[in-house]
């Protein structure tokens, strides 16, 4: 009986996808959950497992074609006899496991001498079996090639768990994760980083791109380019900024940083403080997170506030990961959620719905050393906040006797790119002022208790 495989619904916001490559070919047996095809959406590239078993008898949509959700992609023949015969033929070509530990070492001679059976060592037997069963190892999908290139991975070093030793996306992700857990020691970096300074990961080696190189634009880069040009053209961009005295936040981080890292497993940065202060400001000025549809003539105010966090993918691109219901989270809850989505984004574990549906977003170039940034508003939202570097500066403070004095405080800037179609300058300034006052005056000790 024939079974038609259709373009799946990969997320609530996904309406179409592009066929990147067919992992299985016509005539091949496909087991249920085997990777069948690789798809690209406007959010992510993903491998699609087969929902059924059978022989792939027809491919209806060639690679490179964009189709809508529900479009028939391929046909499987799940007839028991056909599938069994196909699988039996494949299995019969493989010697039993016990026999794979020996090889026939007979050499061609003029006489008819009996064969000499020689037992080989386990290491060489593994090499022998591997050579016989990895005919498809060199078949790399676009997703695998992209991940390997982005992370400078020699695919020859990656164990393949796919059919015939093929290297899958999960194999690359596991290799990346293992490398991060056990990084090679760097003899040039021996000094400890101060607790108040957040260092970005080191850039990829400069020799990965050589002068004169011409390379194909990665799909992620192309999607970013298309989305940002569309966003820039569809919104009336305006930018406003304020200076923030982070001394109160810095003092709390200094007192609780070690305890927090011990209990949570990661450092307490400025970002969750800013996110927490921002959630309060959004509640006071809901126009900032409203959805503006000039075509329909409506402005809607979502019941829950989902926060988008811009995540840098080791300079290979940028995605905005969605922290759902951020308005109901505590400071610690926001810290955990931001850490979680950032880790999943860099590991390639986020689906289309994890990269869409946010009401407001924050981009955080500060750890890289930015002074002031003017980000593009991601469509269809009305604003995005930029958090820049926090540094120590001399500031004028009021002394207990009412006179002025100088002190060294942690100072930084917050910038808001906002859509002038949706609200006006007074709302933008008051919104930023609310965040500033929250950061400078809140009892952050209570937030961490």
Beta sheet of 54-59, edge-to-edge order: 2-6, 72-77, 54-59, 29-30
**What single DSSP character describes residue 192?**
P
What's the chain's Rg over C-alpha atoms?
Answer: 28
Indicate if 424 belongs to the active site: yes
Record the tokens describing residue 359, joined without a space.
């009401």
Burial class (CB in 10 A: 0-12, 13-18, 19+), 324: middle
**What torsion, rounded to 10 degrees, do the Cα atoms 397, 400, 402, 403 define?**
-60
- CA 102 – CA 117 distance, rounded (Å): 7
Burial class (CB in 10 A: 0-12, 13-18, 19+), 182: exposed
- Cβ-based neighbours of 55, under 8 Å, separated by 6 or more: 27, 28, 29, 30, 76, 77, 79, 82, 83, 86
Indicate if 237 belongs to the active site: no
Where do we find the tokens 């798809």?
Answer: 39
Which of the residues 258, 293, 304, 420 is marked catalytic? 420
CA 167 to chain centre: 20
Which of the residues 33, 258, 293, 424 is marked catalytic? 424
Where do we find the tokens 């995605």?
Answer: 319
Answer whether 310's CB lies under 8 Å from 364's CB: yes
- CA 342 – CA 54 distance, rounded (Å): 38
- CA 169-170-171 angle, to 5 degrees, is 90
Record the tokens describing residue 16, joined without a space.
């179409």
Record the tokens describing residue 408, joined without a space.
């060294």
- CA 107 – CA 99 distance, rounded (Å): 19
Answer whether 144's CB lies under 8 Å from 168's CB: yes
H helices of 19-141, where?
Answer: 80-92, 122-133
Read off φ and ψ for residue 180, nearest 5 degrees.
-70, -35
Q: Please name the helix (run of DSSP H) or strand (run of DSSP E) that holds residue 143, with its range, or none.
A: helix 142-150
Where in the sequence numbering do the catalytic residues fall? 420, 424
């Amino acid at each position: 009986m024939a079974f038609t495989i259709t373009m799946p619904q990969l997320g609530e916001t996904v309406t179409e996808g592009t066929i990147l490559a067919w992992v299985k070919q016509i005539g091949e047996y496909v087991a249920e959950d085997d990777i069948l095809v690789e798809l690209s959406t406007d959010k992510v590239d993903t491998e699609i497992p087969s929902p059924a078993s059978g022989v792939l008898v027809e491919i209806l949509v060639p690679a490179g074609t964009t189709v809508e959700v529900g479009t028939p992609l391929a046909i499987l023949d799940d007839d028991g006899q056909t599938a069994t015969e196909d699988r039996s033929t494949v299995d019969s070509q493989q010697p039993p496991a016990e026999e794979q530990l020996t090889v026939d070492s007979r050499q061609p001679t003029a006489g008819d001498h009996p064969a000499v059976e020689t037992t080989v060592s386990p290491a060489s037997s593994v090499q022998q079996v591997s050579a016989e069963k990895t005919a498809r190892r060199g078949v790399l999908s676009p997703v695998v090639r992209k991940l390997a290139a982005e992370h400078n991975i020699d695919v020859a070093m990656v164990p393949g768990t796919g059919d015939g030793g093929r290297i899958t996306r999960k194999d690359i992700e596991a290799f990346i994760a293992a490398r991060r857990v056990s990084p090679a020691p760097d003899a040039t970096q021996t000094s400890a980083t101060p607790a108040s300074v957040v260092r970005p990961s080191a850039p990829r080696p400069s020799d990965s791109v050589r002068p004169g190189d011409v390379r194909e634009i990665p799909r992620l880069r192309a999607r970013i380019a298309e989305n940002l040009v569309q966003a820039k053209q569809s919104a009336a961009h305006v930018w406003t900024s304020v200076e923030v005295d982070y001394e109160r936040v810095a003092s709390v981080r200094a007192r609780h940083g070690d305890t927090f890292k011990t209990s949570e497993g990661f450092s307490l940065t400025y970002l969750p403080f800013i996110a927490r202060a921002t959630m309060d400001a959004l509640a006071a000025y809901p126009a900032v997170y409203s959805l503006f549809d000039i075509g329909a003539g409506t402005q809607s105010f979502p019941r829950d506030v989902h926060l988008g966090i811009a995540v840098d993918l080791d300079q290979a691109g940028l995605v905005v990961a969605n922290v759902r219901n951020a308005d109901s989270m505590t400071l610690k809850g926001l810290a955990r959620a931001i850490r979680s989505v950032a880790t999943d984004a860099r590991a390639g574990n986020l689906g289309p719905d994890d990269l869409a549906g946010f009401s407001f977003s924050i981009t955080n170039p500060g750890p890289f050393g930015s002074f002031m940034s003017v980000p593009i508003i991601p469509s269809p939202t009305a604003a995005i906040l930029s958090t820049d570097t926090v540094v120590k500066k001399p500031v004028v403070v009021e002394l207990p006797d009412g006179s002025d004095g100088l002190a060294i405080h942690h100072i930084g800037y917050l910038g808001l790119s906002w859509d002038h179609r949706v609200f006006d300058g007074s709302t933008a300034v008051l919104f930023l002022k609310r965040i500033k006052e929250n950061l400078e005056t809140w009892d952050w000790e209570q937030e961490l208790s």
